[in-house]
Amino acid sequence: MIPLPVLEEVIDRSQAAARIEMLLPIGVRPRQLTARTLLAGLCLTQADGRPAHLTRVHQALSALPEDDQARLGVIADWRTGPHKLTYRQTEYTFGLVTGALAEDDPCGQPSRALQAICDDLLEASIPEAFKDASTSLAVDWTDLESFSRPPPRGTRDCADPEASWGHRKNNLLRTQDELFYGYYLSAAIMMPEENGPAVPELARRATLSSCRHDPVRAFAPVLTAMPAAGIPLGDILADSGTPTATLLPGPSRCAPPARSSSRTCTPTTADPKAPTTAPSSPTAASTARPPRAPCSNSARSPVTRPGNKPPPTTPAPPSSPGTSSAASPATTLTATTACSAPPPWARSAAPSGPPR
């Protein structure tokens, strides 16, 4: 379990509590539960491995020593005497915070303000000694079920309407994906540089998106915003099933984009090899028609009329009848053999596959 002073240092370093307090409404009397104490309770619940329930947050704050409770405002001095924080007060402050950081039109993705708060909290959790240790990140996503039960078919009447049905892989011996109701959790983990020293695998960025959105497209703006915050990006390690994310311009960041059908693979660095003399692959992108080889066993011979000059082309030397086609050198296509009609084998060398 992470000690409370460490969590408080991360919250203060990120300045997230002060920014949240500026967004909350000001009432007639001050709230007993501040945004800083609420964030501390949320961090205590997650650090202790408890379920992410609001009741657990209230229990974590109520279980602190009395000195810490008085310092954080869990126990406050009222006119009637000491007053301990109630669950209703915790629920009220949590509702104010979520309302201030939520989108005006919920769409299954965090708002810019909420994503910025999460980015600052994760960045503040990185020790100063490892902030510049590596610029490489390992990116992947996983499934995260919602606390709510799925809505009836054809409706969205449930406790978590922003969640959606998604697919996930399981360890069962079958090829079908398993359905779940919830979100996709994407994360970027620090990784050592190539041939570099080892670094701790700390989470540097994360986001949560509904299963209606492509998790790669939802996570791409979070990564591209890192250089603007002064964090350089190096190698991004992803599996071969990660679809290519093309950021489409649009007025709304919550519009469900179409999935990409192409796939990207991380290139590996290998030693240069000697040039090979093998013939080129038939899948190479070429628009030139190969020259027609002269026939050596044809019964007819070309007729040359007197007075006519041969065409100004240099035919390829005829091959010997005893020479096999496998031993003949490969013919290099040049621009002089270009033809307007592409050969039937001229296809794209890039494989295509279904998106993940």
Does the pLDDT at position 252 exceed 90? no
Does the pLDDT at position 97 exceed 90? yes
- Comparing CA positions, the residue from 168, 251, 174, 170 lying closest to residue 215 is 168
Indicate whether 138 and 220 sit together in one domain.
Answer: yes
**In-domain check, residue 215:** yes
Domain end (from 237, 253, 287): 237
Does the pLDDT at position 313 exceed 70? no
Q: What is the pLDDT at residue 166?
A: 92
Does the pLDDT at position 296 exceed 50? no
**In-domain check, residue 218:** yes
**Could you give the number of structural domains in the chain?**
2
CA distance 222 to 115: 8
Q: What is the pLDDT at residue 174?
A: 63
**In-domain check, residue 310:** no
Full-model pTM:
0.66
**Domain span at residue 65?**
4-101
Taking the alpha carbons of 204, 208, 211, 216 in that order, is the dihedral positive or negative? negative
**In-domain check, residue 109:** no
Does the pLDDT at position 40 exceed 50? yes
Compare 323 and 24 and report the one with higher pLDDT. 24
**In-domain check, residue 271:** no
CB 258 within 8 A of CB 245: no
**What pLDDT, in 10s, does the model give residues 110-130?**
999 999 999 999 999 999 999
pLDDT bucket at 168, cuts 50 / 70 / 90: confident
**In-domain check, residue 319:** no
Domain end (from 209, 237, 265): 237
pLDDT bucket at 189, cuts 50 / 70 / 90: very high
Does the pLDDT at position 285 exceed 70? no
Task: State the average pLDDT over residues 188-205.
Answer: 92
Does the pLDDT at position 276 exceed 80? no
CB 39 within 8 A of CB 17: yes
